A and B are shown apart, each in its own frame.
Chain A
Amino acid sequence: MENQQKLIHTFGALAEIGSEIAQKQNFQQMMRTSLHLLLGSLAIMRGGIARFSRFGHELNMIVVRGLGDEFPLSMNLCDEDERQFLTNGSFPIEVAQAKVLPFFQIYDQSFDKKKIELLVPLVVRDEIVGVILLGEKANGAGYSAYDKEIVGAMARHIGVGIAQRNLLAELERRAAENRQLYDNLRMTYQDTVKAFAAAIDCKDKYTEGHSVRVGKYSEIIARELGWGENETEGAAVAGYLHDVGKLTVERNIINSPMRINAKESAELNKHPAVGYEILMPIHHPFADVPLAAKYHHERLDGRGYPDGLIDREIPYIAKIVNLADSFDAMTTDRPYKRRRPANEVVEDLQRNAGRQFSPELVTAFFKGMLKELTGETKEKRFRRLLGRDYMEAEGIVPMLKNALNGLDGTSSLTLISLD
């Protein structure tokens, strides 16, 4: 009768400890409950669970019961102890029989004072993850073979719980490390892109800052379209690098103060294809960057170059960069042409929506501009790039509102004109 009750009591504890470890709850609480169950199953007066730190070669107490204030919370293991514990596995060691090990010699007094009788190494997949220390039983009897079986079984569950926790912490650490590595790479990439843009703009003394501005306008359009952080950054990069092919065009053609002749024009018109060749072999975090360079001079109506693509044949990113590029061309002084006033630019974009530009992109661009002019956003992107007086010219806001009404609902397909 007594044996049966004992069996029920201890197996109840064993089952509970198993389900406790299986539940992914707070680690500290899981260990506290586990220690209660282990001590209570055999009415063990005191004990504790320690976790092994591989790097410090030390055992740090996670939970203790009845060990008092003087018991060491951190204990060192030397190589010999570790080797012995590993060979032993998760089976109880009688402290009285293990005095040869340095560990037991060093902590002999503390163990003696608290009547620590058993030590169970927690070994999981050939690694020490911790130990359990157990004091005397309430009935004063030593640990029987049966008791040791029970203790060993519970210890194995607890060991798995600690190993799981270690694994989780390791995964979290690696994820954080990866994130940082990725952030660093990304920053390096952004710096490289900006350095390239500066190099491109250097070559063209009349359009200083062109690439940087096209990058910023492309970003504004993408953001207005509701694109995510990554895609928006991709649009900015496409803008920064769209004229990279100009690096191979002769400087005097680019910098010619007059309109260039047909031969020179043919030379200049190679820059999209050359840009594509330059960008293609580079691994970009954003896939469309080379395509933006290749097709940023295409027009919806097919009258662009190099391939004379029409509307749906043109990659979306190239349409964005084309709009940003054209806007910058209109709003900055060129060697043969002064910049045009804002109202003319708005009119031009509106008129060419469906011919050169995708109407939805013009809409997005106008919306971005309007938000800034009406103060809906605190950002001053246009004002900073174009000058305050230029952007705040009279009548621009109603013009933009009007244009947006007109553009609303029009699709590029119905507006294509091949005249």
Chain B
Amino acid sequence: MENNFETGVKSNDAAATVYADDYLNKLSGEKIERECRRRLDAGCKTLTVNFADTHIVNSSGVSILLGVIDAAADAGAKIVFSDVKNETVELFEMLGLTNHVEVVPESWQEVTESYK
């Protein structure tokens, strides 16, 4: 697996991880959507958005994530939101994002990691 710190993306051809950083409450969050679309266009079939560094997701952030979900659906790719903070998981459930995407909470990740 190659590491590309500059774009906040880890990928091989079929799978990629995009890091959501702290941007998901601003218009500049559209950058993440563009990055995801680029990966999907390049043929990525499993796209993971990592929320480890994301503390707040507001309405703009939700809209941007809906764009990512839409793009993945168009590309026939599977999408995973990983390392999601508990409050954000609740928000995603409440808004119905969980109908479209697999959400892996932060705590689960720790548990599964430790068993590896």
Interface residues of chain A, those whose CB is within 8 Å of chain B, are 2, 5-6, 9-10, 12-13, 16, 29, 32-33, 35-46, 65-66, 137-141
Contact = CB atoms under 8 A, between A and B. Distances in A.
B63 A139 contact: no
A16 B59 contact: yes
Interface stretch (B12-20, B44-52, B76-84, B88-96): B88-96
A40 B96 contact: no
A29 B27 contact: yes
Interface residues of B, number: 20
A41 B59 contact: yes
B91 A5 contact: yes
Contact of A36 (B59, B70, B91, B94): B59
Contacts of A139: 95-96, 99
Nearest to B27: A33
Nearest to A3: B94
B64 A43 contact: no
B61 interface: yes
Contacts of B62: 39-41, 43
B96 A65 contact: no
Contact of B61 (A38, A40, A65): A40
B76 to A, nearest CB: 16
Contacts of B90: 2, 5
Nearest to A66: B70
Contact of B63 (A10, A29, A35, A141): A35
B104 interface: no
A40 B67 CA distance: 10
Interface of B: 27, 58-64, 66-67, 69-70, 90-91, 94-97, 99-100
Classify the interface of chain A: helix, strand, loop or mixed.
helix
Contacts of A9: 58-59, 91, 94-95
Contacts, number: 78
A331 to B, nearest CB: 69
B91 A65 contact: no
A138 B59 contact: no
A117 to B, nearest CB: 14
A141 B96 contact: yes
Nearest to A139: B96
B96 A138 contact: yes
A140 B70 contact: no
Contacts of A29: 27
Contacts of B64: 36, 40
A66 B64 CA distance: 11
Contacts of B58: 9, 12-13, 16, 40
Nearest to A37: B59
A45 B60 contact: no
A43 B70 contact: no
A140 B96 contact: yes
B77 to A, nearest CB: 16
Contacts of B95: 9, 42-43, 138-139
A65 B58 CA distance: 17
Given A5-B94, A32-B27, A138-B100, A40 B60 contact: yes
A36 B96 contact: no
A397 to B, nearest CB: 65
B63 A37 contact: yes
Contacts of B100: 138
A39 B96 contact: no
A36 B61 CA distance: 8
B99 to A, nearest CB: 6
Contact of B60 (A10, A33, A42, A66): A33
Given A12-B59, A36-B27, A139-B99, A66 B94 contact: no
A374 B62 CA distance: 72
Nearest to B59: A40
6 contacts: A9-B95, A36-B63, A40-B61, A43-B97, A45-B66, A65-B67
B94 A45 contact: no
Contacts of A12: 58-59
A215 B21 CA distance: 71
Nearest to B96: A139
B99 A140 contact: yes
Given A43-B62, A43-B96, A66-B66, 17 more contacts: A2-B94, A5-B90, A5-B94, A9-B58, A12-B58, A35-B63, A36-B59, A37-B59, A39-B66, A40-B58, A40-B63, A41-B59, A65-B66, A66-B70, A138-B66, A138-B69, A138-B99
Contact of B96 (A38, A66, A137): A137
A362 B90 CA distance: 86
A2 B100 CA distance: 20
